[in-house]
Chains A and B, each alone.
Chain A
Amino acid sequence: MSYIRESVPSHSMKRQTLSNVLGMKKIDRESRETVGAITSSDTRISCRNVNVFYGEKQAINDLSLDIGNNEVISFIGPSGCGKSTFLRTLNRMNDTIPSCKVEGEIKIDDKDIYHRDMDVVPLRAQVGMVFQKPNPFPKSIYDNVAYGPRIHGLAVNKTELDEIVQNSLIKAGLWEEVKDRLDEPGTGLSGGQQQRLCIARTIAVNPEVILMDEPCSALDPIATAKIEQLIAELKERFTIVIVTHSMQQAARVSQRTAYFHMGHLIEVGDTNQIFTNPVHPLTEDYITGRFG
């Protein structure tokens, strides 16, 4: 009987046993096939067999994924795994890199965005982007938000433009803080306010999809919480794709989570499932902090 009383193995032995068994999954660790449902019942963005190359180097390997309407999906993975590269293929931001080549099919609302007739200017209005570092233009708060509607001709007169600016700032949760100083420079705002200004600027052109590339990595916890709250509100109107290095943020804001590893989409699934019982051993290793 006295297995317990006679020998209590050392701590390290114990954990090693625990790790080995807990890490044991039916899926082969070396497998690079995507685990989980890549399809969505209400698809807005459909990607099939996407390969992305930077010169000779392949950054994305045969990736297929659907992103649903009014869905928040997080892309997670270690640095260099291809999550930002994939994000940027969704509004053809990679076109600005001469060595970048994209293969496969990416459709937004059934339109192939890499079709030769596709104009990237309206595409980037339809698929807006928020970057890691807030990048307001060196103009007034008002002009920052009014810039997009002006160049896309979304307002016929000043009253309409005022309305767009006000609505965008309200949706971005910034209106109350800046309504009395719209003429002040956007660069004078705090980091969190600047990021919300960038979000207001993005939504001013009435996009359908918002891409966010680590939008909170330069912000303090309160500003981060405000952006996360904003994401929860924005998802009622937009499809949001967010790249984040914060596991907790992915767990908090998204309904689906996709894990990338060395250019492969390893696992995609319901966020609750990914963070409580991931299927692929690589996903589990990454989110529990066992590598990366």
Chain B
Amino acid sequence: MIMATKEHTSRIFDGELNHLHYLVLEMAGLVITQLDHSMKALDERDIKLAEKIILRDREVNCHENKINEAALTILAKRSPVANDLRMVMSVSKIVVDLELIGDEVVKIAKLILTLFDSKSADPNLQLLRDIMKMGQMVSEMLEQAIRSFDTCDVKGAYTLVNEYWDYGDEYQAGIRRQLTFVIEDPRIISRSLNIFQIMKSLERCGDHARSIAEYLIFMIEGKNIRHQDAE
């Protein structure tokens, strides 16, 4: 007889997978908050908030350890196969991306501390404009990736993977604009370098969000779309 629902016969196994799923959401929520806070700190020149971001990275790392432990336990105890195996494998990959986003946000926070050092003058507002735009875009990408993970929305994941290229264009355009400012006023070169680094970190965060979407496609469809050029 075919079961109407698709729960595992062992409800405990379902509970363990739910727990893993929930841990990822928890970690992702923290990482998105960190990213948003970094943009807020930049926008409001909030050094205390930047310092707080640096301190909270420890929590992100703790989450990564917790998730890896839970995934390892499931592998050892349940020997998952098919969609369950793909879920556990994808989660263990996704958390690496989340943790790396956390690291990039810390880099941004440290650059914010340098930018708003009391000894220097405030950076030109125009210089910050591109960062804020990119930061918002990356935050939305990450949120979409996690929403897709939460609801197993493969269409959302595909959209994110395809949208990446627009985002990459935006990054290139931002770099060009920054260069124009530097050419106009070479005195801002050292600040501009900081801005470049922040933009680079944000671009990497975007790459990780895209990577999460790729793992998600593998998790749901069993299709590996990563490194297709390798074949």
Chain A residues near B (Cβ < 8 Å): 1, 3-5, 8-9, 11-12, 14-15, 17-23, 29-30, 247-248, 251, 275-278, 282-285, 287-292
Contacts and interface: CB of A to CB of B under 8 A. Distances in A.
A21 B82 contact: no
B9 A290 contact: yes
A256 B25 CA distance: 37
Given A4-B29, A11-B15, A19-B7, A284 B146 contact: no
A67 B29 CA distance: 51
A276 B218 CA distance: 11
A114 B17 CA distance: 49
A275 B82 contact: yes
Given A8-B25, A15-B14, 17 more contacts: A4-B32, A8-B29, A11-B19, A14-B25, A18-B17, A20-B152, A21-B152, A22-B87, A22-B152, A276-B85, A284-B83, A288-B8, A288-B80, A289-B10, A290-B6, A290-B8, A291-B9
Given A4-B28, A11-B19, A288-B8, A17 B152 contact: yes
Interface of B: 1-3, 5-10, 13-15, 17-19, 21-22, 25-26, 28-29, 32-33, 36, 79-87, 139-140, 143, 146-147, 150-154, 219-220, 222
Given A1-B36, A11-B15, A289-B10, A17 B26 contact: no
Given A11-B19, A12-B18, A14-B150, A19 B25 contact: no
B32 A276 contact: no
B223 to A, nearest CB: 8
A290 B7 contact: yes
B7 A14 contact: no
Given A4-B143, A276-B222, A289-B8, A22 B17 contact: no
Contacts of B5: 19
B18 A291 contact: no
B147 to A, nearest CB: 6
A29 B2 contact: yes
Given A3-B143, A8-B26, A291-B9, A278 B82 contact: yes
B143 A8 contact: no
A1 B40 CA distance: 14
30 contacts: A3-B143, A4-B25, A4-B146, A5-B29, A8-B26, A11-B19, A14-B150, A15-B7, A17-B150, A17-B151, A17-B152, A18-B152, A20-B6, A21-B153, A22-B87, A22-B219, A22-B220, A23-B6, A247-B79, A251-B81, A275-B85, A276-B86, A282-B2, A285-B2, A288-B8, A288-B83, A289-B9, A290-B3, A291-B2, A291-B9
